[in-house]
Amino acid sequence: MSLRNIAIIAHVDHGKTTLVDKMLQQSGSFRENQRVAERVMDSGDIEKERGITILAKATSVVWKDTRINIVDTPGHADFGGEVERILSMVDGVIVLVDSAEGPMPQTKFVVGKALKIGLKPIVAINKIDRPDGRANEVINEVFDLFAALDATDEQLDFPILYGSGRDGWMAETPEGPSDQGLAPLFDLVLKHVPEAKVEPGAFRMLGTLLEANPFLGRIITGRIASGTVKPNQTIKVIDRHGNLVENGRVSKILAFRGIERQPIEAGEAGDIVSIAGLVKGSVADTFCDPSVTEAIQAQPIDPPTVTMSFLVNDSPLAGTEGDKVTSRMIRDRLYKEAEGNVTLKIEESADKDSFFVSGRGELQLSILIETMRREGFELAVSRPRVVFKQDDDGNTLEPMEEVVIDVDEEYSGTVVQKMSERKADMIEMKPSGGNRLRLVFHAPTRGLIGYQSELLTDTRGTAIMNRLFHGYEPYKGELAGRNNGVLIANEQGESVAYALWNLEDRGPMIIDAGVKVYQGMLVGIHNRDNDLEVNVLKGKKLTNIRTTSKDEAVKLTPPIRMTLERSLAWIQDDELMEVTPKSIRLRKRYLDPNERKRMKNAKEG
């Protein structure tokens, strides 16, 4: 059976995962009566809740006696480390573009990587039924993008299909016909994408995806570059420099057949398979026959730009809600995460009770924190900081990002003002259809931390922001921080409605009544720029004198809900976020007020 390996590239929400659903259905991968979940490729809980793809996943379909391996890739730049490695497994890409939004920064990021390694793209214009669709303009934008990314003439001569992934059809013209389903897409893949590349020689495979399976142990997925592999075969693992990592035996070979992975008797060159049985081999290592000495070159990965401290939770409420609280447990979990995710970098501090975790962006790190708290971990995390570099002359360089904001015209002034406060330079401003403007900025990464929620507030939820790592540039100077101080609890206990009600004129609260608090925990936002210690435990003094019923019922203003992402962006350098399976609490790094003053004086002195 001949083979084709393709990846689907698209920006967030342009419909990759939905299209893969329809491809599986129409190729007969499901039984007639089989119940199938929507967006079957998004397997994690967080992926389903947020509607985003975090991990790349492979599947396969059979069309006209040809097996097509399809890789669904993430659309967020924070998870771009996944995409870069996956492209080495495939021989062609389908670039999926929304008929209204056109190519976005994330499309540019991945397409650039694909064109660089010589893949010939197929362009599919999706969501053709959108009322604000502008298919012809989008095609021109895609062509301009490819040209700007130095595509060859052959790559610029790309075939185009139009259709709707949700309705499950593709055709050569925007008008249809829509009754052929996805057959035109499958046929074009067979015609346009070359057969899977096979090199002569013994078995070699580059590890691309890593996962832990409770029954089979470590499972490494990759494409076999040459030779064949069978169960019980002895193989070795070498790193990118050719040094031996381990010798081992293959216990099982799994191949993608529809959405299921099934054991097979032999993995052939060109196919994408998963191998179980090795204990040390990781991503970017070469799995090969014992006679092989040369490693397969892996694609280089862009460096991490944001770092955070993960600390052991030492608050008075530590250990009351989670069962994984020690530094050893946190350390093992972080190192396990870094094994499979090559864009994460973990460093241990000298005192062994905190860890510096560096990644591509705060979304990637907040998803790691969310995953850990769901697994029962308790930890404290600091505000994200950017990773600075020094150039040869000793000048400080900081990471910059290209930011594209689509916004209604009436809110554009506010966005431009807020971005300039964050030291961003506007590069371009153009209409993007339907009374909307597309603003392009180059902005320092540290200025964008936490801007997403503020942007949505400023634009009544109508703006769409997309970011992409641009490069390192000279340091832009200090940024204005948070304008308001905080209200800090001065005792341990449970908050009382009457006390909160009396404090409302000091500023909005971030906790409800009946919440456990401790000394040094943040309970509200002060109206002024200084911090203030307050008592949230003080109940109403009861006397035997009757009063009018007016002040018996206390009506509290609902508190500001501090979500995980919002908290990360809001806290300052002297504050921490305490994360447990049940709650998110904000606190000062030093809980004792005298110690806080001492540290502040030492810093100023």
Residues annotated in a binding site for GTP: 13-18, 126-129
Please give the helix or strand (H or E) that residue 59 lies within, else none: strand 57-63
Crossing angle of helices 412-421 and 451-458, rounded to 10°? 150
Q: Where are the alpha helices (DSSP H) in 272-426?
A: 327-340, 362-374, 412-421
Burial label for 601, CB within 10 Å (0-12, 13-18, 19+), is: exposed
Give counts: helices (H), strands (E), the chain.
Answer: 15, 33
CB atoms near residue 552 (< 10 Å): 8
- Centre a 10 Å sphere on the Cβ of residue 564 and count the other Cβ atoms it contains: 16
Distance CA 23, CA 17 (A): 10
Assigned token pair, 309: 């401290």
Amino acid at 383: R
What size, in residues, is the chain?
Answer: 605
Query: CA-CA distance, 603 to 248, in Å (whole number)?
Result: 54
Q: What is the CA radius of gyration of the chain?
A: 27
Secondary structure of residue 359 in the 3-state scheme: strand
Beta carbons within 8 Å of 447's beta carbon, 6+ residues apart: 422, 423, 424, 476, 479
Q: How far is the C-alpha of 286 from the C-alpha of 297, rounded, in Å?
A: 9
**How far apart are alpha carbons 70 and 93 in whole angstroms?**
9
Whole-angstrom Cα distance, residue 157 to residue 429?
29
Provide the CA 439 distance to its chain's centre, in angstroms: 23
- Per-residue CA distances from 467 to 26, 54, 212, 377, 440 (Å): 35, 16, 31, 30, 10
H helix intervals, 234-361? 327-340
Decide: 525 and 560 in contact? Cβ < 8 Å.
Answer: yes
Q: Which residues define the annotated binding site?
A: 13-18, 126-129
SS3 of 546, please?
A: coil
What is the three-class DSSP state of 369? Answer: helix
Of 362, 232, 366, nearest to 305 by C-alpha is 362
Long-range contacts of 559-562 (CB under 8 A, 24+ apart): 559/508, 559/509, 559/510, 559/511, 559/512, 559/524, 560/508, 560/509, 560/510, 560/525, 561/510, 562/510, 562/586
| Token representation of residue 43 | 């397997």
Helix (H, G, I), strand (E, B) or coil at 307: strand
> Contact, 402 vs 467, CB < 8 A?
yes
Burial of 532 (0-12, 13-18, 19+ CB in 10 A): middle
Please report, in angstroms and rounded to a whole number, the separation of the first and last CA atoms in the chain. Answer: 74
